[in-house]
Structures are given as C-alpha cells and as structure tokens.
Chains A and B, each alone.
Chain A
Amino acid sequence: MTQKPTKVCAFYSKGRTYLDVLQCVRQRYPEAHVSAVIPARYPISREETALVDEVVETERTRYSLREIRPLIRLVRQIRAAHFDAFVVMFDSPRLRILSALSGARQRLFCRMDGEFAPLHSSVPGVMADVLVRSIRGRAAYAYIWLIVRLLHVSTTDATRNRTSPDGKCREADHEG
C-alpha cells in the first residue's frame, strides 16, 4: 500500500484560483504538512495562509526558459524540501517537467472540478510528447492554411433574402 504523504507542496501557477486549490489540497491531505510555494511578492491572503502550515516564496515572480540559472535554483529549492506530494494548478508541459524534477513521489494537478489527476510523465516523456504534438500540429496547420488560401467562400447565395419585410432587424426589448 502507498504511504500517505506527510509533506505536500501546493505550487502556485496560473490556473484555478489559489484559494480553491489550497482548499482541495487541505481536504485531500488533512494531516499533512502543506507548504504553499508562491512567487515573490504574491499577496497571500489570510484565508490562504490559514489553510497551510508554511509559506515559501520563490526567488522570482516569473521564470523563463531563457534564463536557466534561476530555474535551476528553483528546482533545487523544491528538491531540498523533500516533498512527498507535489500539486500544481494546471496541466502543461512546463509544469509536468517541474513536477518530474521535484523529486516528489506523488505528482498531481488540481482540476477545475476539484479532483486531482496524476502527472506521471518523466522529463523525456514530456519532451517526446511536445515533439510529436509539434510535428502533428505543424502538418495540420499547413493543411488548413492551404484550404483557407485556395478554397473560397461564396457569400452571394448565403446572405440573400434574410431581412424582414421592412428591411430592418428587429431591435425589441432594448430598454435594458
């Protein structure tokens, strides 16, 4: 049987509202030590603070792949905390990679309906998925581009005779 996580990270990102996610995390792990990992300068509210045991600020408010050193420091900061479970607010390739690098046994994202979905991917798995999607997407884009450029729409028949007898649209109930 899987051991219950005792140390849980709720990693702030775009997605649902943070308070929602913290409520879901606390409900799922009522006994665990929950750490809210938030970007620098995030104005964490009283309600949010009340749901966690610890608030950890990251070095930066935003991270970019163009600046790799701060990202490495972020990963080190997360790994050093030895979380058992790592919860993110959105499912994206970047957050999947971060989850995979977190070192946590359980990696989850909190869905809009409040349920948790596992993030099993490894770093190579995420990168392979991105590559396959990119090839498929570019092929689809080229196909659609050709259709849009080469096949034209005829408007003459489509929009004829759509007006009322007086030739105007009805604009009733307009007081609101």
Chain B
Amino acid sequence: MRVAFVDLFFSWPPHGGADVDLYNVALCLHKMGYEIHVFIAASEDSWERGTVDPATLPFPATRLDFTPRQINRYEMPRRFRAAVDAWKPDVVFVCDGFFLKPYVSEALNHYPIVLRYFAYELVCPRDSRLFLNGATCPMNYLRTPETCRPCSLEGMADEIKRWRFLSWTQEYIAARAFMPGYYPLLIQSLKHSRVIVVSNPLHVRQLEGIHPDVRIIPGGVNIEDFSYSSPAPKGIGEKKIIFMPGRVEDPAKGMATLREAGGRLARERGDFEIHVTHTDFTINSDWLKAIGWRKHAEIMDLYKRSDICVVPSIWQEPFGLVAVEAMASGRPVCATRVGGLQDIVVHGETGFLFDAGDGQSLAAHLARLLDDADLRQRMGEAGHKRAAEEYDWKRIAERYYPPIIVELARDVSAQNRPSIQDPK
C-alpha cells in the first residue's frame, strides 16, 4: 500500500505540533510496512516552510523548493501534482497548509484524499484559533463566510499594511482567499476529499452537514522519550515548582488565570514558584518566573524538575500536546475544560479540570496538590499510564490509520478506478 503525505509547512526539527504529528505518523506507518513518501514544500524566504533536509529523515521524503514568487495558486499545486503523480500512491494525506491547501488538494483529487486539519483553519480564516475578544467565536467560515471575510482581513490588516508577513497572511494573499471564488473552491475541495481528520469533537460538530466522514485522531508522544520519575523530595525551604509551558505570551493560553491563581496562593503561602516560558522578564516576582522560550530537550527536563503542570488555555485547544507531555513525564496536570484538553486530563485521576478563566478554582486545585505529595505522585503515575496507553504514537498509528488506508484503497479497487486518471 503506497501512502503519500503532502505538507506545505513540514520542518524538522519541528516548529509545531503539526510537524510532530506528520513525522511520527509517517515513521510509524513506515515501520509497519507501508510504502510511504512525504512531499514537503520549502522556501528559503520563509523559516516556517520546509526547514528540513530530507536525507536526515527516517522515511522517504522529497522537498519541493519554491521561490517566494512560486508560492502561488498555480505553481504550488502543479509541482505537487507532478511529484505525487511520479510516485503513484494509493492514498494521499494532505496535511498542514493554510489557504493554498484547497488548491493543492484539488490538484490531487484523482487520488483518494484525506484532509488533515490541526487547528481551526477550516472554519476560522482570521487566524485559525476561533478565538475573538477573549472568547470562543461562534462563527464558522463554512456557514457564515460573509461575517468571517471582513473579520479575517481585520486580523491580518497590520501585516498586510506593513507588507511583511508570516506564512498565514502570505498564503491568504497568494491564494487570493479574499476573493468570493475562494469559498466555493474550499467547499469543493472538502467535497472531493474522502475523509477529513480533525483533533476534537468541537471541530466535528462544525463540519456537520458539510462532510459525511469526519474523524477524530488525537496527537501523541513517544512514550519511550519520557521516563517516569517521581519528583525529587524537597529540602527545607525549597519551593515546589508549578510549570506552564507553551506559547504563554498568547492571551488565549490563559496565563492571566494562572497569575490570578498564583496571586491568591501567594497571599496564603510561600512554598511554591510558578515557572512560565515567557520572554517578558518584567513579569518576574517572588513567586512568578519567566524563563524564556526553551528548546524541547530543555522543556522535557523542566517537566521533570516541576511538581505540577498547568494548562489554563481559554481558547478551544484543538488538542493539548503539553498536557500529554506533562502526563507522560509523570506530573499531575491542571487544565481547563476546553477543546481537546478535557478529553486528555481525567478529572480527579490524572489531574484536575476547571472552567476557563476560573482562577479561584485553579488556586484551590493547586493548593490541594501542593499540600499532598501522595496525591501528586498518584496522579503523576496515573497520567503516565494514560499517556502510554492512549497517546503513544505507535498505538495511535496502529489504531487509527490502517482502517482509513485500507478502506480507501478497497473503495478504489471496488470501483475499478485506476490509481491515476488522465488530468484532462
């Protein structure tokens, strides 16, 4: 079975969860005996796109180099089609990509297509977060394009006016996603895909009535990278560490809630410190420490040095990888009841769930965990076990991907459809 993965942004070392997802899925399927090939877009002009040497990857991959001018709705689909056609896959997964993704998937629609969405890029053309004015946006581009089009332009206004943009806005311009014709093209690309894969039930609900086969596949971790160790016993006067990793500068990540909870705790006790991966060192206080952005290897070490992890996001996290990493490291997790997080953390077993923005509730959960070393240990062990059982990449690849691949390949052979049709 030949499976192609097409990705408009893949980089390794990874820049984000989408890269980690593709790398691990491709690697696991490769090890399971599938013939796989990853096709990657790269541009020297953009650090976000294709920063990878395919020769260093543990699976076959081809990098398609584009000049900034070639990143457009004609050249990119044409080059991907030529490369994929030369390899003749049975199934094509179209992975990370923004506004050019529908053009690329349409160029490949003579294969059974699986569209993978990692955030809310399908329903929120503003910034793929579905988060506006401090709350989850109730709109859905697929149903309310006339409301979402001006909103997305407003979100990108600053970058467009400065004519200096990141890939999201670059693709918005290159794909002419502001034109009315983009919307029917997007719908058509969804219609032509056989399966759509998303990360949480909210996303499935958003696609109800749009596509008949929307599936959830979670992200994961390589559990062998996370050896469980219980937190080192604290010496006299040594503070317990509460750790918040991730892009904490983004208000949607909810650091304000953690600060509120920290302030409440600090009025009553002084046996803790909150460490956050923030780059504004003016926020530092007796109990709050910004530690800057850190390499993933450093983050792994920081999980081990911490006692409790907090993920206080106020947006609908599509998945919540940091919660899984913290659990895999054997740390109890306090997370908000949003998006994919509420499925990852089991309340009272691997940590605590609380409502988004509820600092008082978070403070109460943190106080309970700070006071009870046995509870921290129990929850940490349960979290590690859950991460190993539910979120190990090997298990995810085995559980979710073969059914899709076999099903699509079987449908193709049942229809006696040739693998490649004449494009004309």
Contact = CB atoms under 8 A, between A and B. Distances in A.
B183 interface: yes
Nearest to B165: A137
B149 A140 contact: no
Given A19-B298, A113-B51, A162-B211, A174 B216 contact: yes
Contact of A170 (B149, B215, B218): B215
Contacts of B179: 147, 151
A152 to B, nearest CB: 6
A148 B399 contact: no
Interface string B183-206: 110011011000000000100110
Contacts of A81: none
Interface string B205-235: 1011111111111100000000000000000
Interface of A: 14, 16-20, 39-43, 45, 47, 61-62, 93, 111-113, 130, 133-134, 136-138, 140-141, 144-145, 147-149, 151-155, 157-159, 162-164, 167-174, 176
Given A16-B293, A140-B173, 16 more contacts: A41-B284, A43-B281, A47-B298, A62-B282, A112-B47, A137-B162, A141-B157, A141-B161, A147-B179, A152-B146, A153-B145, A153-B183, A159-B142, A159-B187, A169-B205, A169-B213
Interface of B: 11, 15, 47, 51, 142-143, 145-146, 149-150, 153, 157, 160-164, 173, 178-180, 183-184, 187-188, 190-191, 201, 204-205, 207-218, 279-282, 284, 289-295, 298, 343, 390-391, 396, 399-400, 403
Nearest to A13: B279
Nearest to B162: A137
Given A144-B153, A153-B180, A162 B146 contact: no
Contacts of A149: 150
Nearest to A20: B295
Given A112-B47, A155-B183, A169 B204 contact: yes
Nearest to A171: B204
